[in-house]
Amino acid sequence: MTSNLIVFPIILPLITSILLILCYKRLYFRRYLSIASLFLQMYTIIVLTTQVIKENTLQVLYVGGWDAPYGIALTFDLLSGIMTGICVFLAIITLLYGFGYTPIKKEHLFKLPLFFFMIAGIQLSFITGDLFNLFVAFEILLIASFGLMSLESRSNHKKYTYPYVALNLVGSFVFLVTIAVTYRLLGTLNFADMGVRSHLLTSDPRLWVMGVMLIFVFGLKGAFFPLYYWLPKSYPILPTPTGAFYAAMLTKVGVYGMIRLFGTVLPHSLGTLHTLVLVLAIPTMLLGILSAFSKKSMRDILCFNLISHIGVIMMGLGLFTKESLTASLFYMIHHMLVIASLFLIAGLIIKMKGSDNIENIGSLWKTSPLLSGLFLIQGLSLSGLPPFSGFWPTIGLIREGLSQGSYILVFSLLASSLLTLLSMVHILFRGFWDTQSPNVQKPVPYFKPMVGVAGILVLVSLGLGLYPEPVLKLSHDATEMVLNQKAYQSQVLP
């Protein structure tokens, strides 16, 4: 069985980045090439996903022809399809937007190659079926993200890369320790094989330690409560297009890892671990959003909102039922689209007013109604209000939370939703409604296509809100596939 197509979402960006380094002189060609490569990648992902849906099984590729668990198996199921698809979609959107944002002469030569390396890392982590390979994938995306961050931020901001790097290096260290523990304990690194072997020792305390360490590793990537420190100071130093991509994708990789490992690999009976996630979800939801009120810059506020919504996703993860995971997955999809578009809107504001400090912008409600409309829609969407996309998973989460008796969680969810709304209203009042604010700079007419690109993203998320059924079904099917360990094992292990 050789479904080599699976490797293309990974290898295409890698090859693209080589080509991008090579033709460093042809600036326009680089841009066309990168977009073309992303579209090609999108095509392969669509083909793969339709195949998965049609056959209702996951696609497996044994790299090098070595059967699992000895070689590395790449697995592509519906969850991978959704995540990789959104990743490429957002990459296209943010790149196109970025082309308008940064003048072509000022774009750093290594920006595009590093961006593509990062995409390769992200896609690999969505596709791989091997724990150590996942580590490698994380390293690819992390170091690429370090590089991109220090490349793109302004010279006096580059130092803020350091906390990001340091915390993530600690995370990598713990990941290595976890791999050692896993290999010692289970004697294998393949997900399916890990699943088979861990079922034999569900009462072994060592499995719990392994689980907690995995929560640490993925929680650090996914910005769970006491581990999110790297996030709020690092994302805002990026230029907004890149920041939008980071905010949308990078934390989700950690969340994806949690879903994959707790759904597909580890036995579902490790309830204490789920409880740990639930316990961490509450402060993540509430503290994240509260900090948002102390910030003035729109991107800072969005970053703290992002943390709070990771808490919402964690809630679905911790409740760990099919419905709650479906809700989490849907929420994740919604959140990636919305947070990215809000970052892009912030970018437009920066272009227009020279700053995204909400005290300094003002009067946008009057001067640019289109932008205000986009912001209002996405702001309401972010807070989970109907009929926008965030609302549908919220229902599912409330339902599951109530039926499992986690009232505090439901309450925190609602509180965080209300607080998100307030923080959006905060931006709305200061940034859009107030007219007295002094402008830092004279307004600059922005590049029209950029609004179009941001508008596409808003439209997509609006569509998701108004007609959620297909995506809801998709995430339901994906969750079912993730939770069906028996099928996964029999598919991967020959």
Partner 1 sequence: MFHSIILYIVGRFLFVFINLAALYLLIRGHNAPGGGFIAGVTTALSFVFLTIISKSGDIKKLLIVDPIYVMITGLSIVYFLCLYPTFGFKAVLTHSQFTPLLFDVGIYMVVVGVIGSVMSAMIHNTEQLP
Partner 2 sequence: MGVSLSFILDGLSYFFGLMITLIGALVFLYSRYYMTGPKEEYGRFYMYLLLFMGTMLGCIFSNNMITFFVFWELTSIFSFCLIGFKYADPEHQKSALTALVVTIGTGLYLLVGCVIAGMGFHTFQISEMVSRYFTLPPVWFTIMLVCILIGAFGKSAQFPFHFWLPSAMKAPVPVSTFLHSAAMVKLGIYAIARFYPILSNHPMWAPLLITIGTLSMTWGAVRAVLSHQIKEILAYSTVSQLGLLVLFYGLSFHGVSHDYFHIANHMFYKATLFMVAGILITSTGIRDIRQLKGLRKYMPLTAFSCAVAAMSMAGIPGTMGFIAKEHILNMFFLLIAHQSLFFGIGFVCFILSSICLFAVGCRLVIPIFGGKKPPSLKIVKPRLPIQIPAIILSSFIAIFGIFPSLWAFLFSSFSVHQLHKFPMDTIHSVSSFPVTKAATIGIFLLGYLLFRYLENKSLSVPAIPFPTLPSLAKLGSTVTHFLRLDKPLDYLFIVIGFLICATGWVSFGFHQPLVGFISDAIKPSMLDIVVTSIICLFAVATVVVNGWIGRLISLTTLGFLISVYFMLHKAPDLALTQLLIESVTLILLLLLLTRFSASTKKIDHRLPFTSLRHILKICISIGAGLWIISILIMMSGPPASPPIGSFFTLHSQSLAKGLNAVNTILVDFRGFDTVGEISVLVIALLGALGLIHRQKDLFSRKS
Partner 3 sequence: MSITTIYLIGVLTSCAIYLILHRSLVKILFGFGLLGHTANLILLASSGNPNGKVAPIIDGVSNSFVDPIPQALILTAIVIGFGVTAYLTALFYHIFQTEKSSHAEDIFPI
Q: Which residues ranging from 44 to 103 are in contact with partner 1 (CB under 8 A)? A: 61-65
Per-residue mark of binding to partner 2, 171-200 (x: CB under 8 A): ---x--x--xx-xxxxxx----x---x--x
32 contact, one of partner 1, partner 2, partner 3, none, CB 5-8 Å limit per kind: none
- Answer for which of 15, 35, 40, 213 binds partner 2 (CB under 8 A) is 213
Segment contacting partner 3 (CB under 8 A): 89-97, 162-170, 215-223, 292-300? 162-170
Beta carbon of residue 449, minimum distance to partner 2 (angstroms, whole number): 25
Interacting residues with partner 2 between 139 and 178 (CB under 8 A):
139-140, 143-144, 146-148, 150-151, 158, 160, 162-163, 166-167, 170, 174, 177
Interacting residues with partner 2 between 240 and 299 (CB under 8 A):
276, 287, 290-295
Contact flag: residue 21 with partner 1 (CB under 8 A) = yes
- Given a contact cutoff of 8 angstroms between Cβ atoms, the answer to whether 331 and 313 are in contact is yes
How many Å apart are CA 251 and CA 246, to the nearest integer? 8
Assigned token pair, 160: 């803020």
Rounded to the nearest 5 degrees, what angle is found at the Cα of 474, between the Cα atoms of 468 and 478? 140
Beta carbon of residue 152, minimum distance to partner 1 (angstroms, whole number): 19
Say which amino acid occupies 145: S
Q: Give the residue with the Cβ less far from partner 1, 18 or 370.
A: 18
Cβ neighbours, 10 Å, residue 333: 25
DSSP 390: T
How many Å apart are CA 121 and CA 198, to the nearest integer? 27
Q: Give the residue with the Cβ less far from partner 1, 144 or 329.
A: 144
- Measured in degrees and rounded to the nearest 5, phi and psi for residue 62 equal -90, 110
Rounded to the nearest 5 degrees, what angle is found at the Cα of 224, between the Cα atoms of 222 and 225? 160
How many Å apart are CA 478 and CA 484, to the nearest integer? 10
Where do the DSSP E strands lie in 47-90? 59-62, 73-76
> 106 Cβ partners below 8 Å, 6+ apart?
none
Contact flag: residue 215 with partner 2 (CB under 8 A) = yes
The three-class DSSP label of residue 437 is coil
Cα separations in angstroms, 63 against 13, 130, 135 = 18, 11, 17
4 contact, one of partner 2, partner 1, partner 3, none, CB 5-8 Å limit per kind: partner 1
Q: Give the residue with the Cβ less far from partner 3, 97 or 117.
A: 117
460 contact, one of partner 3, partner 2, partner 1, none, CB 5-8 Å limit per kind: none
167 half-sphere exposure, CB direction, 13 A CA radius? 21
Per-residue mark of binding to partner 2, 333-372 (x: CB under 8 A): ------------------------------x-x-------
Q: Give the residue with the Cβ less far from partner 2, 33 or 290.
A: 290
How many Å apart are CA 388 and CA 379, to the nearest integer? 10
Say which amino acid occupies 384: G
- Answer for which of 14, 78, 215, 259 binds partner 1 (CB under 8 A) is 14
Beta carbon of residue 21, minimum distance to partner 1 (angstroms, whole number): 6
337 half-sphere exposure, CB direction, 13 A CA radius? 28
Interacting residues with partner 3 between 186 and 205 (CB under 8 A):
189
Say which amino acid occupies 184: R
Cα diameter, the chain: 69
Contact flag: residue 470 with partner 2 (CB under 8 A) = no
Contact flag: residue 2 with partner 1 (CB under 8 A) = yes
Size of the site for partner 2 (CB under 8 A): 109
156 contact, one of partner 2, partner 3, partner 1, none, CB 5-8 Å limit per kind: partner 3
Beta carbon of residue 198, minimum distance to partner 2 (angstroms, whole number): 8
- Given a contact cutoff of 8 angstroms between Cβ atoms, the answer to whether 338 and 409 are in contact is no
Cβ neighbours, 10 Å, residue 95: 22
The three-class DSSP label of residue 59 is strand
155 contact, one of partner 1, partner 2, partner 3, none, CB 5-8 Å limit per kind: partner 3
Provide the binding-site residues for partner 3, judged by CB under 8 A.
132, 136, 139, 143, 146-147, 150, 155-156, 158-159, 161-163, 165-166, 169-170, 172-173, 176-177, 179-181, 183-184, 189
Provide the binding-site residues for partner 1, judged by CB under 8 A.
2, 4, 7, 11, 14-15, 18, 21-22, 61-65
